[in-house]
Structure 1
Amino acid sequence: MKLTRREFTKAGLGTVSLAALGGSGALAAHADMIRKAIPSSGELLPIIGLGTNRYGVGKSEAERAPLRQALERFHRLGGTVIDTAPMYRSSESVLGDLIEELGIRGDLFLATKTDRTDGSAGTHAQIGESLARLKADKIDLIQVHNLLGWKNALPVMREWRQEGRIRYIGITTSRATQYNEFEKVMQQEKLDFVQLNYSLEQREAAERLLPLAADNGMGVIINRAFGGGRIFDKVGDQPLPDWARNFGCESWAQFLLKYAIGHPAATLSIPGMTKLHHVDDNFGAAQGRLPDANERRRQEEFFDNL
């Protein structure tokens, strides 16, 4: 059954912890982690995923060891969603190797992308290559990267989904200059997910794209919640406001992530994490609760006055 985001919110199912659903076993260890539902299926996902555009390293142990440690910690803390792409250099191959070494494939929600502009055959080939590099029989989510070749890619992705080798399909962008075209594709295509940039610094997506995703029952993956790192330069050494602890913030990273994922249309965010302390810090944003509308407005006012 497909529900819109607004119907999820009305039903009280948009944001939950596993504890509220009677989780058991390994997942129960992460019962307090906030999860949100995919509108097209109701499947619950942790609100913190893993972005891997910096996982494109070589084969040496010196390069891969920190990434293996970060991935192991991500999994141990209850993370499932990993977002990658063939455009991220060797990231897919590195992930395929590390996931196999850790033996965690069955616990993960893998998302990758396509960007071929040479027609359907190119898209078919690229998806197959991604599966091979990731050492996967199926992919949870395939997304058209920055709308490149979307008219040819989406029908191919639907074919793969019909065959059971893809579970969800979507499109991505990371820049506001694409929003007009992005909006048109959202209006005319039936999609499970959209991925877009949204942060305290870049709020334009909240004007039309996020409400449209909510109305059309599309999950939303937030990228660039840290504004490409620029926001940390802006806050500098300034202490976190005391009131941020009311919704469980212990760091600026959590402040920024909770703001972005706190939008009712957002499903999760995918910050890049290559170091253990980044994984630990970012996962703190999935604890406690998310800011309400009034608290999010206060976050905006605070940021604008820095």
Structure 2
Amino acid sequence: MSKRNRNVSLSRRRLLQQALALALSLNLPRAGWAGDKPQKILRKIPATGETLPAIGMGTWLTFGIDLDDESALRTRSAILETFFELGGSVIDSSPMYGSAEEVVGNCLARLDSTPDLFAATKVWTSGWRAGVRQMERSRLLWNVERFDLMQVHNLLDWKTHLATLKEWKAAGRIRYLGVTTSHGRRHSELARIMETEPLDFVQLTYNLLDREAEQRLLPLAKERGIAVLANRPFQGGGLFRRFASQPLPKWAEAIDCENWAQFFLKFIISHPAVTCAIPATSKVAHMRENMGAGYGRLPDAKLRRRMSEYIRGL
């Protein structure tokens, strides 16, 4: 860069900094803020218009613990308490996750007050009878009257289970139904189901590096009015292992990001088709970081491109 161009760039930067300082001094409103507090980010379920917080909670690996480990149970209870205190609602689990459903039920029972829970789990077996037994068992483990969302896990025997879920929804035994994939698998089959079946939700893998869903699934969800839960938002921890030692860009402050977790999550929930991201954690401090992504400003299309380019450049 020439000296003249560098001076022009510096002058523009100073002007921007001065404009920001002036806005702050005048206490001008910022998008995503109510007065001096960041607003909670909510998303509508297209099927009904019901709103959900944009950050939920997954339980894969993190809640599949030994039920005799009282220390671990107290930690999970503290995680749930923090989640609800910071405005969380959507908890997602599965019979596939070992003891996770029973741990969720145990921890919910320890809470002092009834939380604003949106209970989501899955059926993960073959055959009608086995599916019904498994879903009933899940309800008992969670100790809920009914599930808000029941999903067919990784499309396993999906035709059989989806027929059951339609009957259960019509009878009021569940509120919403859906299907899931993970690790970016079986996208073509999922697209065909989305095109032909009356789904309320789909769950799929989407994060800053795993973006195949942008090509067909996310636009299709938007077109068909299907809510989207984004799983593996941190790529199973891979994003932290790869990028956490790198500096968070200064311009991340423009979207109220204080850490990498919020950077990763705000990229996901800023996609117009995504309803809720469901990160999992086994630490209270990390839950606080995750929930911070559910407040304040989100990147627009231009800033989303900048976020992607920054990650690719590291």
Scaled to the shorter chain, the TM-score interval is: 0.7 to 0.9
Give the structure with higher Rg (CA): 2
Separation in 2, partners of 1:113, 1:150: 11
Aligned-pair distance for 1:64?
Answer: 0.5
**What is the CA deviation profile of residues 208-253 of structure 1, one whole-angstrom value per residue up to 9, with x for unaligned ones?**
0000000000000001111121112221421111111111111111
Separation in 2, partners of 1:106, 1:298: 37
Aligned-pair distance for 1:103?
Answer: 4.7
1:209 aligns with 2:197: no
Q: Mapping of 1:1-306 within 5 angstroms? A: 32-53=39-60, 54-59=62-67, 60-105=69-114, 107-117=116-126, 119-306=127-314
RMSD of aligned residue pairs (Cα, Å):
1.8
CA 106–247 in structure 1, closer or farther in 2 if over 3 Å, else same? closer
Separation in 2, partners of 1:199, 1:290: 15
Which secondary structure state, in structure 2, belongs to the residue aligned with residue 177 of structure 1? Answer: coil
* Percentage identity across paired residues of the two chains: 45
Separation in 2, partners of 1:91, 1:127: 14
Separation in 2, partners of 1:86, 1:211: 30
CA 150–65 in structure 1, closer or farther in 2 if over 3 Å, else same? same
Structure 2 unmatched runs, 5+: 1-30
Separation in 1, partners of 2:158, 2:120: 17
**What is the CA deviation profile of residues 261-292 of structure 1, one whole-angstrom value per residue up to 9, with x for unaligned ones?**
11000001000022111111011111111111
TM-score under structure 1 normalisation? 0.88
Residue identity in the other structure for 2:56: G
Which secondary structure state, in structure 2, belongs to the residue aligned with residue 273 of structure 1? Answer: coil
Residue identity in the other structure for 1:156: T
Aligned-pair distance for 1:19?
Answer: 6.8
TM-score under structure 2 normalisation? 0.86
Aligned-pair distance for 1:296?
Answer: 0.3
Separation in 1, partners of 2:109, 2:63: 15
Separation in 2, partners of 1:104, 1:45: 20
CA 97–154 in structure 1, closer or farther in 2 if over 3 Å, else same? same
Aligned length: 281
Contact 1:183 1:209 in 2 (8 A): yes
Separation in 2, partners of 1:187, 1:18: 37
Residue identity in the other structure for 1:32: Q
Residue identity in the other structure for 1:45: L
Q: Greater shift after overlay, 209-218 or 126-135?
A: 126-135
Which secondary structure state, in structure 1, belongs to the residue aligned with residue 72 of structure 2? Answer: helix
Which secondary structure state, in structure 2, belongs to the residue aligned with residue 176 of structure 1? Answer: coil
Which secondary structure state, in structure 2, belongs to the residue aligned with residue 238 of structure 1? Answer: coil
Contact 1:67 1:274 in 2 (8 A): yes
**What is the CA deviation profile of residues 64-92 of structure 1, one whole-angstrom value per residue up to 9, with x for unaligned ones?**
01101111111111111100111111111
Q: Greater shift after overlay, 155-164 or 207-216?
A: 155-164
Structure 1 unmatched runs, 5+: 1-15, 21-29
Which secondary structure state, in structure 1, belongs to the residue aligned with residue 185 of structure 2? Answer: helix
Separation in 1, partners of 2:97, 2:112: 23
Residue identity in the other structure for 1:128: E
Separation in 1, partners of 2:244, 2:305: 21
